[in-house]
Chains A and B, each alone.
Chain A
Amino acid sequence: MTEMTGAEMVIAALADQGVEHLFGYPGGAVLPIYDALFQQDKVSHILVRHEQGAVHAAEGYARSTGKVGTVLVTSGPGATNAVTGLTDALCDSIPIVVLTGQVPTHLIGNDAFQECDTVGITRPCTKYNYLVKSVDDLPRALHEAFHIAASGRPGPVVVDIPKDVQFAKGNYFKPKDFSHRGYRPKVKGDLDKIKQAIDMMAAAKRPLFYTGGGVVNSGRAASELLRELVKVSGYPITSTLMGLGAFPGSDRQWLGMLGMHGTWEANWAMHDCDLMIAVGARFDDRITGRLDAFSPHSKKIHIDIDPSSINKNVNVDLAIIGDCAHVLEDMVRLWRASAVVPDKKALAAWWEQIGKWRAKNSLAYRNSNEIIKPQYAIQRLYEQTKDRDAYVTTEVGQHQMWAAQFYPFQEPNRWMTSGGLGTMGYGLPAAVGVQVAHPNSLVVDIAGEASVLMTMQEMSTAVQYDLPIKIFILNNQYMGMVRQWQELLHGGRYAHSYTEALPDFVKLAEAYHAHGIRCTHPGELDEKIQEMLEVKKPVLFDCVVDPSENCFPMIPSGRAHNEMLLGDAATRIEDAITEEGKVMV
């Protein structure tokens, strides 16, 4: 127990939690905490240019390190600006703690200057939140916030601290116990059910692993165990957008991403499998498509730490509640111990079928010598960065899907994207956070010109802290995914999806004291990407691409996995489709 002010307790608790970097923006209601920050050197502060940027940076930091990201913002507009980031972190289960200043306790509810009902506004977009009305409650609230953010299904936690509480003196301590007796996330899976799962796997003729962000969230061990289980079983594997990297994208057993813009082979395998092993994935609507036609012939095993994810969208045959790493560890052990022999003949036939689907070459596109195809730009980016220690973030839209399709990840925690909420403007500040965590690594934001303009101001942050992030903008002058939907569903009436007055991104980069590059021809792509990689500064790379390119494959609205649309370059091998499928395609 040490006597100190509330503001000093904040710093003490952050230091005790091992927080090295804090993303924030000062304001009236957090000045005591900023004053305490000024007088210490344990926690370094990164000044962002907008509070939304602070939260996305913390998300990038958290997702690329597995640690909790931390944010400090002021009351009122500081807190409301953080709401998009909080919701994003809730949707994608990213552990962050956001400290918000609040007006003094005697003014709460009084419509004071820069007052807002922070706990009320953030209640539905946080895993939990606190309004700390007494300095005596502050140490516990701060430490519990980190515990709740990181444990179970991770998520964002807000601690709202009135200014008088920051000034008040009290005793700081690190609590040994946790006051909420009802909060006990179950990490060990039920062994009987895991045995049942192994039996189901042994009997399967057309099995498939469907994995998600939960594997990445569970930590490095979960990815290792997943790889082991996939190897020993010999079963194919696909993953959601959030789960990319948990299993290497270059492996033979990897079918590519599934879902709305997933590969032909991944979605057909989902549709035709007889056993689906879902690990840390939540059957999101981008994955399932039409629910009554979703994988109609399969038994389904669902492994998830969150009981509310079970049977939410799709009824499963066997649910195992637990942390992915723990459950996978038991599965690998039991698989080995029971010496399961999969049906080799059935599995060979299944792989043969998958080979036919693969032959469709569903990601194919028509390249050009005149104009840069966005897919080609990402392929070149991959070729020139694959041997580096690279981290990739994205914004939201077509470029995000192309990045997921054309930039294979070999390791977890290398891919930071806004999956659940689909937040345009996520990628640039997330890249800032990733670069803070990994100062010597390459951090690329694969961006769209519309998204990146939403949080462009964080270039200023990158320059201030010498963070050499590379913003690789696939510039098609459209909100490409909006335009694609308008083309397919709204008669090609491109209502407000074209940006008529874009900035000159090269000059914009220079205005920020960063480095600008423009590339307009496929022939100069390699050389300019090299330039981008060699510059030791933040770079805005304006890659001018084909404005009419669409993102395929695609499961159109309300359709099933076997009703995908393909781009016109994909191979038409009718033999590769089942009779049932022929009617529908």
Chain B
Amino acid sequence: MTATTATTHYPAQTKTEAVESRTLCVLVDNEPGVLARVIGLFAGRGYNIDSLTVSETEHEGHLSRITVVTRGTPMVIEQIKNQLDRLVPVHRVIDLTSGGPALLRELAMVKVRGTGEKRMEMLRLADAFRARVIDATSESFVFEITGASDKIESFINLMLPLGLVEVSRSGVVAIGRGPEGM
């Protein structure tokens, strides 16, 4: 008989797998509490949310589209998809990362403050990144920039030494490439 050394009656974690990032689109009934159900599922089961966007996309059918970027091992990702699909108001769950090429975009508003040469540098960089000026004072700009998350990330990093004040980001919205719908 082997001596018992563990001090819990739960099985130990015996497997560690690599964590990967996934973008999921979740089509839900736009009804009270549905977002709480989705977020509660992530919180309650210990899943990660890196980014979350929600808006009604089909007004007649009262359907909202939730785009969520999450991280987990392949087994956890499969669980997340199955658990989401199990919720009563959830119509469909689409994995845009595993489902072929997809377009992922984010919108950010970036407020910077500065004068003189720094101000000129801000405008040059904004031009290179195709960011638009949507507000300006004699000592500040608000830029609007859209693109993939890493592009926005590098724009923000470049603005940092020039006088970054504030950033507001929409989170990722995504859609599959090609003629087919979800």
Contact = CB atoms under 8 A, between A and B. Distances in A.
Whether chain B is bound by chain A comes out as yes
Contacts of B82: 307-308, 310, 312
7 contacts: A131-B33, A180-B89, A182-B28, A289-B11, A489-B6, A556-B2, A557-B7
B29 A182 contact: yes
B144 interface: no
B14 A291 contact: yes
Interface string A300-313: 00000011101110
A128 interface: yes
A124 interface: yes
A557 B28 CA distance: 41
Interface residues of B, number: 33
A485 B4 CA distance: 11
Contacts of B7: 489-490, 557
Most B CB within 10 A of own CB, among A120, A123, A181, A557: A557
Interface stretch (B36-44, B46-54, B98-106): B36-44
Given A308-B79, A559-B2, 20 more contacts: A128-B88, A131-B32, A131-B33, A180-B88, A182-B29, A182-B90, A260-B9, A285-B11, A290-B11, A292-B15, A293-B14, A312-B79, A485-B9, A488-B4, A489-B7, A557-B6, A557-B8, A558-B11, A558-B12, A585-B2
B79 A119 contact: no
A136 to B, nearest CB: 15
A565 interface: yes
A128 B86 CA distance: 10
B182 interface: no
Interface string B80-92: 0011011011111
A339 interface: no
B1 interface: yes
Interface of A: 119-120, 123-124, 127-128, 131, 148, 180-183, 260, 285, 288-293, 306-308, 310-312, 315, 485, 488-490, 556-559, 563, 565, 584-585
B75 A311 contact: yes
Given A123-B36, A180-B88, A307-B86, A557 B10 contact: yes
A488 B91 CA distance: 48
A289 B6 CA distance: 13
Contacts of B166: none
B153 interface: no
A289 B4 CA distance: 14
B10 A285 contact: yes
Nearest to A129: B33
B83 A308 contact: yes
A49 to B, nearest CB: 31
Given A290-B12, A490-B7, A565 B32 contact: no
Contacts of B88: 127-128, 148, 180, 182-183
Contacts of A563: 2
B78 interface: yes
Interface string B24-37: 00011100110011
Nearest to B14: A292
B92 A182 contact: yes
For the complex of A and B, the 8 pairs showing the least CB-CB separation, nearest first, are A308-B82, A182-B91, A292-B14, A557-B6, A558-B6, A128-B88, A556-B4, A558-B12
Contacts of B8: 489, 557-558
Nearest to A181: B91
A508 B8 CA distance: 36
A365 B54 CA distance: 61
Contacts of A291: 11, 14-15
B14 A124 contact: no
Given A131-B32, A558-B11, A306 B4 contact: no
Most chain-A Cβ atoms within 10 A of its Cβ — which of B1, B8, B90? Answer: B1
Contacts of B14: 290-293
Contacts of A315: 75
Given A584-B2, A585-B1, A288 B86 contact: no
B89 A307 contact: no
Contacts of A312: 75, 79, 82
B86 A308 contact: yes
B4 A489 contact: yes
B4 A119 contact: no
Nearest to B10: A285
A120 B36 contact: yes
Nearest to B8: A557
A292 B15 CA distance: 7
